[in-house]
A and B are shown apart, each in its own frame.
Chain A
Amino acid sequence: MPDGTEKLPGVRSIDKLIHEPARLLIMSHLYVVESVDFLFLMRQTGLTFGNLSSHMSRLEEAGYINVEKEFIERKPHTVLHLTPEGREAFDDYRKNMSQVFSGLSN
């Protein structure tokens, strides 16, 4: 049964995991750098500790980001970076979104 999205090619293929605003923000920040730590990402995105941890966990489960935990002077230190799959997924997301908007007309 048609749901109306057939007129907008790309809508169906939008990655809903990335489409969530907080996760989109996280992916965007990781996309332009090599790696960041938890504190840096928290400050740049404005997300709370728990919120960022929660979204980070989702993205890690999807294989989009890699989370490395270590201890520096007995203090926990978490470093994050995009995986090649995450980078590809983000590129696809941007491509799909641009297709969706180019399909919209006034």
Chain B
Amino acid sequence: MSDEIDLDEIERKAYRETVKDGFTEILLGVMLLYISLTWMSSVTPPFTALLIIFGPRILEALKQRYTYPRIGYVKLKDEDGVKLATGIFGYMLVVIALLVVFLGAVYRDSWTSDLFYRWTPTLVGALLLGAMLYSQGRSGENRYYVYGIISLLGGIAFSLYDFEPVMRGLGSYLQLFGGASLLIGLVTFMRFRDRYPLQKLEENELESSEDTMNLDEGQ
């Protein structure tokens, strides 16, 4: 038992427990790969709605099967939805504004309609950086800084490279980072399964605990 009680650290630790199974990285990877599919084909596959509706349910079912029996279940406090949405929207606006200012300054005399498509990897990289900064803040884990910086630098690198056609830049970026995220998630999940065996709180243990309670009450 710890000698010190730090409520913020306990909260961060609870958050870390919710993401240690690798499902978050797997979900992010699938999402990025799926977006790349829609982006490259310029046709929205019909199962987009199904993914939105059933995605969270599938994730919860996977957690019920693999995560909760190993490390237990925790429901974190609901965040202030308005505050969170305002934060995300505000961050997106700032990123877009910075990108427009930057492109305006650099390509003042050679502005073309392709320019936006060319720099979309940087935009997505900056948005991923925001998501990683959020995760770092909630978990206290510094690896999210590394993920975020790599995402942004990767976005800039893909924007600087001359892809033909220009839309392939974002598609390739999403495939690379989506694939990497999926791979990291799968490896994390396999390690999670090995490290945390199924815990069985059997009925006889429950009965013995009730005996303990009776003893305690008798004292």
- Taking Cβ atoms with an 8 Å cutoff, the residues of A that contact B are 21-22, 24-25, 28-29, 31-47, 49-51, 53-54, 57-58, 72, 75-76, 79
Contacts and interface: CB of A to CB of B under 8 A. Distances in A.
A72 B60 CA distance: 14
B5 interface: yes
User: Per DSSP, are chain B's interface residues mostly helix, strand or loop, or mixed?
Assistant: helix
Interface in B143-188: none
Interface in B181-219: 199-201, 203, 205-206, 208-210, 212-213, 216-217
Given A43-B72, A44-B13, A53-B209, 12 more contacts: A28-B10, A32-B77, A33-B75, A33-B76, A36-B73, A36-B74, A39-B73, A50-B212, A53-B210, A54-B213, A76-B201, A79-B73
Nearest to B78: A34
A41 B76 contact: no
Given A49-B201, A49-B209, A50-B209, A32 B78 contact: no
B63 to A, nearest CB: 12
Contacts of A49: 201, 205, 208-209
Interface string B54-86: 000000000010001101111111100000000
Interface of B: 1-2, 5, 7, 10-11, 13-14, 17, 64, 68-69, 71-78, 199-201, 203, 205-206, 208-210, 212-213, 216-217
Q: Which 5 A-B pairs have the closest CB atoms?
A: A40-B72, A39-B72, A50-B212, A53-B209, A32-B11
Contacts of A29: 10, 14
Chain A interface mostly helix, strand, loop or mixed?
A: helix
A47 B72 contact: no
B5 A25 contact: yes
A34 B73 CA distance: 11
Contacts of A35: 74-75
Contact of A31 (B7, B68, B203): B7
